[in-house]
């Protein structure tokens, strides 16, 4: 069977150009085009050998169950918390993501978001546009250089953030599941202790059940009234209700958020807070990074259907990460 005869289901959207590339390489069917998804999957689900998705949409257990011939899932994005790993493991389905290629852009955005909230850049822009500068000077904000940065999650992105922060002469410590012997930065086994020490707390850990609401009321209280939270990981890592209360009560100074618990829906309470920078999950959203991620999706599919191996398999299902 040639690759053009292999039927691939697309769950979610990719760039139009890349969808055209996939359609030329495989027999591609975008699930979004089906009026009655359940009925379509009941009738046609058995024919699909591959599933392409992204880190935001993923693939739940019901979708995977509706694809009895499924052999491989290729996801654009590094996070795979929206993919039911138990179903993947039970079925022996191969799973790939796109690590490394988005690390730089996410780390760049993380530092940009930190600076934006600490120095009040968004507020300053509005200040000028409203004409307020004609009346008085913009209020003083918080210095970034030589401050204390606590990084939660010291994987690829956490390390890239730390390297950038070192350029600002920041004192860097981190918390993760275990210390990394190869790193020179100090490890703290208590997240609350890290938050209490830090001026800025940067969330870079993966999402999923293990990290759900890892940052809750206790951690935010420890961060303190001068502390700032930055989240470029997953919205589920932070207890959003606890964060809102901490911001409203002045228990922390501010936050920069690229991700939310129920995105794209953002709570009205957050929208009303001026000390919060709100971003629409764009940390990896550059032309260069999306092209690199989508090329890697294609490489994974080509490699799997040619020789049975993935280029970037996910370690939880027997690969590497």
Active-site amino acid positions = 234, 263, 281
Place of tokens 């129920």: 262
Listed in sequence order, the DSSP H helices in 98-143 are: 103-119, 121-130
What three-state secondary structure class fits 254?
Answer: strand
Give the span between the Cα atoms of 318 and 315, in whole angstroms: 5
Give the span between the Cα atoms of 194 and 214, in whole angstroms: 13
End-to-end CA distance of the chain: 30
Positive or negative, the CA dihedral 308, 309, 314, 317 is positive
Phi, psi of 39 (to 5 degrees): -65, -40
94-96: strand order across its sheet: 27-30, 7-10, 50-54, 72-76, 94-96
The answer to whether residues 106 and 55 touch, using CB atoms and an 8 Å cutoff, is no
**DSSP state letters, 60-87:** -HHHHHT-TT--EEEEESS--TTB-HHH
Listed in sequence order, the DSSP H helices in the chain are: 16-25, 37-44, 61-65, 85-91, 103-119, 121-130, 156-166, 191-197, 217-223, 240-248, 268-271, 287-307
- Around Cβ 83, how many Cβ atoms within 10 Å? 27
């Amino acid at each position: 069977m040639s690759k053009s005869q292999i039927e691939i289901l697309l769950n979610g959207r990719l760039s139009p150009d890349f969808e055209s590339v996939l359609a030329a390489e495989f027999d591609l069917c975008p699930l979004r085009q089906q009026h009655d998804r359940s009925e379509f999957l009941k009738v046609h689900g058995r024919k699909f050998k591959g599933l392409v998705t992204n880190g935001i949409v993923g693939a739940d257990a019901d979708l995977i169950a509706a694809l009895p011939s499924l052999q491989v899932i290729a996801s654009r994005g590094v996070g795979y918390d929206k993919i039911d790993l138990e179903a993947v493991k039970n079925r022996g389905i191969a799973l790939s993501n796109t690590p490394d290629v988005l690390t730089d852009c996410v780390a760049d955005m993380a530092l940009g978001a930190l600076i934006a909230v600490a120095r009040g850049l968004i507020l300053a822009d509005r200040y000028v546009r409203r004409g307020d500068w004609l009346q008085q000077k913009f209020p003083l904000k918080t210095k970034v250089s030589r401050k204390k940065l606590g990084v939660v999650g010291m994987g690829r992105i956490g390390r890239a953030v730390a390297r950038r922060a070192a350029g600002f002469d920041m004192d860097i410590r981190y918390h993760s599941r275990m210390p990394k012997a190869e790193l020179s930065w100090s490890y703290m086994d208590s997240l609350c202790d890290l938050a209490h020490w830090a001026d800025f707390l940067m969330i870079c850990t993966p999402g999923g059940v293990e990290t759900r609401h890892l940052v809750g009321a206790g951690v935010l209280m420890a961060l303190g009234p001068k502390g700032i939270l930055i989240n470029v990981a997953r919205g589920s890592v932070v207890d959003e209700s606890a964060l809102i209360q901490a911001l409203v009560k002045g228990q922390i100074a501010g936050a920069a958020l690229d991700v939310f618990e129920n995105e794209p829906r953002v709570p009205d309470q957050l929208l009303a807070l001026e000390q919060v920078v709100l971003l629409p999950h764009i940390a990896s959203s550059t032309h260069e990074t999306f092209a690199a991620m989508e090329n890697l999706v294609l490489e994974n599919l080509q490699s799997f259907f040619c020789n049975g191996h993935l280029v970037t398999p996910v370690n939880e299902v027997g690969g590497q990460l």
